[in-house]
């Protein structure tokens, strides 16, 4: 999918995923911290689980759609080797399918982890780390023989991808650490917006082409990456603050229930982290 | 042993090791979690130790056989330097012997650790990490002056090898973490199946030779590695689920013993991890 | 700002920051350890918070000044792209502005973290790590096509920058570990003094030019870096010892208050670390 | 000191240091584990501290001697720049002096840490890590423009050096972990014996010269490094077992003191690790 759309599409997905995760983790973190104000009503354990299941289902669904789109929309149609012409059919599309496959696997694992109790909870983060790592790994060997700027913008992408993988792996050991969660959200949004940027640089929809061999362009693009990071940080912190304010104001308006009624609720595990 | 067999043999060993470890760690993890159902009977502390001893003995035995095979089956027959012709005798075979030697050492250490109490338990993982690292280290300097695809497939192997080493090292500090154990099993199986793949690519037993300089082949091989990883993940999760189901069904059928009888059993350390 | 001043200025800032941090962390560490001698009076919780706010404000102020100076003193005056001549305006100045921007963001985050309780305390270290990482990242792609020694001195700088980033990231998990704090101070001072050294090497204010292609010079510069590290270690340890001695002598002179009076003070959280 | 002696001398020092550390840490570990048998008499807290002071003093002494030897035995005699001929005087000797300097600093810090209580105990490991890192760092930029095998043997040395630095850094957080201590001892001994090997390869004292460009030699040397590692592992484990056996047999022969007499002894901190 060497086209503007081919970069804008995954970019949008990662942007949405980053925003969604930011909202989700912010909500749970704020809920946990304001327990004594009766915030259990805002986000109970059961609703948390339902949210996870919906999220995982959507991830699985879109991964499946992505694989089909790569294969049948202008792709190799499940044909791997062209024996007649002795070459591999559309290796690029197969690679993209493989990336989607791993995110799909991560979604399936997350579904299993949150519906049954066969596996430890942290498995969903481990699979997410594997999916991100696999994406970065395939991109790493994607770049042979391209022009300087093309290679450079994809290399910059790898920082965000491998960064997400590393943070998700750290979360296996430090689950529920809001800072690591926000960092992962930031890196995911950075990845998303950078996909858009790559699209604009390599396939400018209107306006002049970029000179892919100009060293000055490379210097600018590097700095541009820092700005994307700054915007991702800003977006994540704004979502966090909004969620935090909304939850607090709602809690203040509704008076807490009687202590006696709260007791049994306090007994249920504080958050998914403690069950681990 | 630059031949198909020379890659299929170690590949099979690592595949078997990966499967075996998956089964072992799954069994112990499920046993530990279902303690209250009386699962102590399924895998008691003594039987765990016996299993470890058998495993270690087999590792030591095959390492020894491997060293002998490398030396005497078409190898240097313990002769290191050919003074007449002024060159080293079969450096490759010596290198393979060295790799086996370290796995043998890891086996011996595991034997000592599980029979006596002179050394801390985690030493077996540390030696395993050293053995994997040593294997990767020797492969790293194995590749000078080969063709592009040959180098590439071996480099991909290194991901699995160094990954196993890193995870085993992490286990020194997080012993008994089922996720790390499963990750190590996955990487070991990936290594095993990739050895087979290398054999098929470099020494195709039937069918045409691969073009070792075609860039398209390299792209395909990279993706192929991801598929091996996906299959390894699938295999590990299937073994885990099977073990988990079997243990649970067995526990449900046999009613738990009287509480009074269980008491003393509960006193014995839950698993080897707590003794550390 | 390719000039002597352009390196001496940031160098001085990092030197001052390193010294200031050393003093601050030393004071708090010594105070915490000598609690029983009534050291709560020397550095109370409220004064700690006030100090943090002042520090953050200064960081924000100077970042803002730095951005303005880069833009308007001989810089691009907020103009990014020169459409007429089709090139980016003063990319270097824009890059420096970006670096300042991230340190400014870190300062703002620190202000928010220490005045409100919306975010966990460790966020200030995470943002500091991001700011240092961003600085190193931009320097990394700064160096294309320069002479050998020029590249080398900037590469050496990167050790200190990425080292600071790594230590600050570690502090997210090990907050209040005096050794990590001192290590970060050392690396920050090393960065500051090395900026001065770079100024002297690339733009010698008086005396002869350096031969930027002489391999012997490169060997000397590498060693010189070690000496800077040694001096930074020495400076940090001297500041620590001075603070330690002053606090102890002051505590000895003033007799501790009555036990009864101390009780409520002991109840307040020992340091910011415990609130995390 | 490009000579056989110049490599044999530091090699011997590291070998001795590795053996000494192995003995020391083994003794303390065994003592701690056999507390209930009255092993406090074998290695009391006070004798531990005395041992540390003696060790540190020796390190400081030999570092000082090393610096003097590098400067005055055939070296630059404290002259840094030859203004007449416009070149740096004996940069190599200055670099070696710098390495010794950092080990000397580590010794001094260890002295301070174990006599006073101004600094946390873990500081000695941090300084050791810095000293090892500095050694590796200087070697890293030592190798420009040498022949292939010369570069290769020094690169292999770096594995051991940076490995020691990393393990010492880990010990800052996991102090008293016998496995990390033994790993550091192993890597130090590996470094020592590899210095000897480098001496034999580059400056063979008798016998023929090595062909420094032969690829087969490089393959052999890599394997040889693995063997050195195996021997280091063997030596460390033998020392550990010997110490362990001797302490146990001594404890069995001398009957434990009366329980009443033991009580006060049990009160003193178990080992230096708990004071941290």
CA distance B23 to B189: 13
Q: DSSP 3-state assignment of A273? A: helix
Sign of CA dihedral A169, A172, A174, A177: positive
CA distance A175 to A122: 7
Assess whether pLDDT exceeds 50 at residue D196. yes
The C-alpha angle with vertex C28 and arms to C27 and C33, in degrees rounded to 5, equals 100
Assess whether pLDDT exceeds 60 at residue C102. yes
| Residue C121, domain member (yes or no) | yes
Specify whether the CB–CB gap between B56 and B103 falls below 8 A. no
Q: According to the model, what pLDDT value does residue B266 have?
A: 40
| Residue A10, domain member (yes or no) | yes
Touching partners of B (3+ C-beta pairs < 8 Å): A, D
Task: Mark yes or no for CB contact A244/C98 under 8 Å.
Answer: no
Least trusted range by pLDDT, from B186-200, C66-80, D58-72: C66-80
Confidence band of B263 (pLDDT split at 50, 70, 90)? very low
Confidence band of D261 (pLDDT split at 50, 70, 90)? very low
Which one-letter DSSP state was computed for residue A39?
Answer: G
Hunting for tokens 């917006």 — which residue is that? A193
The pLDDT tens digits of the residues spanning C138-154 come to 999 877 778 888 899 99
Touching partners of C (3+ C-beta pairs < 8 Å): A, D
Task: Mark yes or no for CB contact A141/B218 under 8 Å.
Answer: yes
| Residue D261, domain member (yes or no) | no
Hunting for tokens 């327990």 — which residue is that? A35
SS3 readout for D222-241: HHHHHHHHHHHHHHHHHHHH
Confidence band of C87 (pLDDT split at 50, 70, 90)? confident
Quote the percentage of chain D above a pLDDT of 70.
88
Chain-centroid distance of CA D65 in Å reads 17
CB atoms within 10 A of CB A272: 17
Of C178, C215, C223, the CB nearest to D98: C223
Hunting for tokens 């990883």 — which residue is that? B229
Task: Mark yes or no for CB contact C223/D145 under 8 Å.
Answer: no
CB atoms within 10 A of CB D53: 14
Mutate to test the interface with C, among A226, A228, A231 (most CBs of C within 10 A): A226
From the list C101, A242, A248, C177, the residue with the least C-alpha distance to C109 is: C101
Mutate to test the interface with A, among C94, C112, C132 (most CBs of A within 10 A): C94
Confidence band of D76 (pLDDT split at 50, 70, 90)? confident
Q: DSSP 3-state assignment of B173? A: helix
Of C91, C120, C122, the CB nearest to A219: C91
The pLDDT tens digits of the residues spanning A205-224 come to 887 888 888 888 888 999 99
Neighbouring residues of B112: CB distance < 8 A, sequence distance ≥ 6: B118, B119
The pLDDT tens digits of the residues spanning B62-99 come to 999 999 988 888 778 888 887 777 778 888 889 999 99
Task: Mark yes or no for CB contact B219/A91 under 8 Å.
Answer: yes
Neighbouring residues of B175: CB distance < 8 A, sequence distance ≥ 6: B121, B122, B125, B273, B276
CB atoms within 10 A of CB C184: 27
Chains C and B: 3 or more CB pairs within 8 Å of each other: no
The pLDDT tens digits of the residues spanning C182-224 come to 999 999 999 999 999 999 999 988 878 888 888 888 889 999 9
Task: Mark yes or no for CB contact B118/D241 under 8 Å.
Answer: yes
- The dihedral over CA atoms of C122, C128, C129, C130, expressed in degrees to the nearest 10, equals 110
Kindly report the nearest CA distance between residue C215 and chain D, in angstroms: 8
Neighbouring residues of D102: CB distance < 8 A, sequence distance ≥ 6: C226, C230, D130, D131, D134, D135
The pLDDT tens digits of the residues spanning D43-70 come to 677 888 999 999 999 999 999 999 998 8
CB atoms within 10 A of CB C208: 7
Q: Which positions in chain C touch A229 (Cβ < 8 Å)?
A: 130, 134
Measured in degrees and rounded to the nearest 5, phi and psi for residue C81 equal: -125, 125
- Record the pTM: 0.90
Touching partners of A (3+ C-beta pairs < 8 Å): B, C
Specify whether the CB–CB gap between D267 and D116 falls below 8 A. no
Least trusted range by pLDDT, from C256-260, D17-21, D259-263: D259-263
Kindly report the nearest CA distance between residue C20 and chain D, in angstroms: 19
Q: According to the model, what pLDDT value does residue C195 have?
A: 95
CA distance D106 to D135: 12
Percent helix, strand and coil across chain B, each rounded to 5?
75, 0, 20
Confidence band of B275 (pLDDT split at 50, 70, 90)? very low
CA distance B274 to B122: 11
Of B216, B240, B241, the CB nearest to A88: B216
Mutate to test the interface with D, among B76, B110, B134, B141 (most CBs of D within 10 A): B141
Task: Mark yes or no for CB contact B102/D230 under 8 Å.
Answer: yes
Residues of A near B (CB-CB distance < 8 A)?
87-88, 91-92, 94-95, 98, 101-102, 105, 109, 118-120, 122-123, 126, 130, 134, 137-138, 141-142, 144-145, 172-173
What is the pLDDT averaged over residues D149-172?
Answer: 95
Kindly report the nearest CA distance between residue B274 and chain A, in angstroms: 18
Q: Is A32 exposed, middle or buried (0-12, 13-18, 19+ CB in 10 A)?
A: middle
Specify whether the CB–CB gap between D27 and D240 falls below 8 A. no
Kindly report the nearest CA distance between residue D226 and chain B, in angstroms: 7
| Residue C260, domain member (yes or no) | no
What is the pLDDT averaged over residues B3-16?
Answer: 91
Residue D137 CA: distances (Å) to CA of B197, C150, D9, D160:
39, 18, 20, 13
Neighbouring residues of B140: CB distance < 8 A, sequence distance ≥ 6: B158
The pLDDT tens digits of the residues spanning B29-63 come to 988 887 766 655 556 778 889 999 999 999 999 99
> Around A27, how many Cα atoms within 13 Å sit in the side-chain half-sphere?
16
Of B159, B174, B223, the CB nearest to A98: B223
Touching partners of D (3+ C-beta pairs < 8 Å): B, C
Partner residues linked to A271 by β-bridges: none
Confidence band of D264 (pLDDT split at 50, 70, 90)? very low
Q: Which positions in chain B touch A101 (Cβ < 8 Å)?
A: 230
Pure H helices in C121-177: 123-140, 148-173
CB atoms within 10 A of CB A260: 7
Which two structure tokens, joined as six digits, stand for C50?
């006030």
Measured between CA atoms, the residue of chain C closest to residue A178 is C120
| Residue C263, domain member (yes or no) | no
Confidence band of B265 (pLDDT split at 50, 70, 90)? very low
Report the Cα–Cα distance between both ends of chain D, in Å, rounded.
41
From the list C220, C230, C271, the residue with the least C-alpha distance to C29 is: C271
| Residue C75, domain member (yes or no) | yes
Q: Which positions in chain C touch D137 (Cβ < 8 Å)?
A: 159, 222, 225-226
What is the pLDDT averaged over residues D164-173?
Answer: 96
Task: Mark yes or no for CB contact C88/A217 under 8 Å.
Answer: yes
Assess whether pLDDT exceeds 70 at residue C258. no
Q: DSSP 3-state assignment of B87? A: strand
| Residue A177, domain member (yes or no) | yes
Which two structure tokens, joined as six digits, stand for B78?
């313990």
| Residue D66, domain member (yes or no) | yes
Q: DSSP 3-state assignment of B221? A: helix
DSSP chain D: --SHHHHHHHHHHHHHHHHHHHHHHHHHHHHHHTGGGTGGGTS-HHHHHHHHHHHHHHHHHHHHHHHHHHHHSSS-TT--EETTTTEES-HHHHHHHHHHHHHHHHHHHHHHHHH-SSS-TTHHHHHHHHHHHHHHHHHHTS-TT--HHHHHHHHHHHHHHHHHHHHHHHHHHSTT-HHHHHHHHHHHHHHHHHHHHHHHHHS-SSSPPP-TT-HHHHHHHHHHHHHHHHHHHHHHHHHHHHHHHHHHHHHHHSPPPPHHHHHHHHHS-SSGGGT-
Q: Which positions in chain D touch B87 (Cβ < 8 Å)?
A: 216
What is the pLDDT averaged over residues A243-262?
Answer: 70
Measured between CA atoms, the residue of chain C closest to residue D127 is C233
Q: Which long-range CB contacts under 8 A does A133-140 form with residues at least 24 apart? A: A133/A162, A133/A165, A134/A98, A134/A99, A134/A102, A134/B226, A134/B229, A135/A99, A135/A102, A135/A103, A135/A161, A136/A161, A136/A162, A136/A165, A137/B159, A137/B222, A137/B225, A137/B226, A138/A95, A138/A98, A138/A99, A138/B222, A138/B223, A138/B226
Mutate to test the interface with B, among D237, D240, D243, D246 (most CBs of B within 10 A): D237
Partner residues linked to D88 by β-bridges: D81
Q: According to the model, what pLDDT value does residue C273 have?
A: 44
CA distance C98 to C67: 8
Mutate to test the interface with D, among C33, C34, C162, C226 (most CBs of D within 10 A): C226
Chains A and C: 3 or more CB pairs within 8 Å of each other: yes
Q: According to the model, what pLDDT value does residue A39 have?
A: 58
Q: Which positions in chain A touch B216 (Cβ < 8 Å)?
A: 87-88, 91
Specify whether the CB–CB gap between C118 and A26 falls below 8 A. no
Q: According to the model, what pLDDT value does residue A207 have?
A: 75
Q: Is D229 exposed, middle or buried (0-12, 13-18, 19+ CB in 10 A)?
A: buried
Mutate to test the interface with C, among D96, D98, D125 (most CBs of C within 10 A): D98
Q: According to the model, what pLDDT value does residue B195 have?
A: 95
Q: According to the model, what pLDDT value does residue D217 have?
A: 87
Question: Domain of C237?
Answer: 2-250
What is the pLDDT averaged over residues C21-31?
Answer: 92
What is the pLDDT averaged over residues D74-80?
Answer: 80
Chain-centroid distance of CA D152 in Å reads 22
Residues of A near C (CB-CB distance < 8 A)?
159, 174, 178-179, 183, 215-220, 222-223, 225-227, 229-230, 233, 240-241, 244
What is the pLDDT averaged over residues A120-129?
Answer: 94
The total of structural domains in chain B comes to 1
Confidence band of B256 (pLDDT split at 50, 70, 90)? low
Give the pairing of strands B87-88 and D81-82.
unpaired
CA distance B159 to A133: 12
CA distance D133 to D102: 10
Pure H helices in B148-177: 148-173
Q: Is B217 exposed, middle or buried (0-12, 13-18, 19+ CB in 10 A)?
A: buried
Residues of C near A (CB-CB distance < 8 A)?
87-88, 91-92, 94-95, 98, 101-102, 105, 118-120, 122-123, 126, 130, 134, 137-138, 141-142, 144-145, 172-173
CA distance A15 to A232: 9
Q: Which positions in chain A touch B220 (Cβ < 8 Å)?
A: 88, 91, 94
CA distance C219 to C60: 38
Q: Which positions in chain B touch A91 (Cβ < 8 Å)?
A: 216, 219-220, 223
Which two structure tokens, joined as six digits, stand for C198?
């770079």
Specify whether the CB–CB gap between A247 and A34 falls below 8 A. yes
Q: According to the model, what pLDDT value does residue C39 have?
A: 58
Specify whether the CB–CB gap between B127 and B109 falls below 8 A. yes
More confident residue, B270 or B198: B198
Assess whether pLDDT exceeds 50 at residue D267. no
Which one-letter DSSP state was computed for residue A174?
Answer: S
Q: DSSP 3-state assignment of B183? A: helix
Of B105, B118, B141, the CB nearest to D230: B105
Assess whether pLDDT exceeds 90 at residue A148. no
Measured in degrees and rounded to the nearest 5, phi and psi for residue A214 equal: -80, 125
Residue D100 CA: distances (Å) to CA of B108, D60, D105:
38, 9, 9
């Amino acid at each position: 999918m060497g086209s503007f759309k081919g970069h804008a599409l995954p970019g949008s997905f990662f942007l949405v995923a980053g925003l969604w995760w930011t909202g989700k983790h912010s909500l749970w973190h704020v809920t946990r911290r304001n327990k004594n104000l009766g915030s259990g009503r805002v986000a109970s354990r059961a609703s948390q689980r339902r949210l996870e299941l919906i999220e995982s289902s959507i991830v699985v669904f879109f991964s499946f759609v992505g694989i089909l789109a790569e294969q049948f929309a202008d792709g190799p149609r499940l044909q791997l080797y062209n024996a007649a012409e002795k070459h591999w059919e559309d290796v690029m599309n197969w690679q993209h399918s493989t990336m989607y496959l791993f995110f799909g696997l991560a979604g399936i694992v997350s579904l299993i982890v949150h519906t049954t109790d066969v596996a430890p909870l942290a498995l969903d983060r481990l699979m997410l780390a594997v999916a991100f790592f696999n994406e970065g790994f395939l991109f790493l060997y994607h770049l042979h023989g391209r022009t300087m700027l093309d290679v450079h913008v994809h290399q910059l992408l790898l920082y965000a991808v491998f960064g997400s993988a590393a943070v998700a792996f750290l979360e296996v050991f430090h689950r529920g650490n809001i800072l690591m969660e926000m960092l992962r959200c930031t890196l995911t949004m950075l990845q998303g917006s950078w996909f858009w940027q790559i699209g604009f640089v390599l396939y400018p929809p209107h306006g002049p082409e970029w000179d892919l061999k100009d060293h000055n362009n490379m210097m600018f693009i590097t700095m541009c990456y820092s700005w994307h990071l700054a915007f991702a940080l800003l977006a994540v912190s704004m979502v966090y603050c909004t969620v935090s304010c909304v939850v607090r104001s709602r809690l203040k308006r509704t008076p807490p229930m009687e202590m006696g009624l709260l007791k049994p609720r306090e007994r249920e595990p504080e958050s998914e982290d403690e069950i681990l």
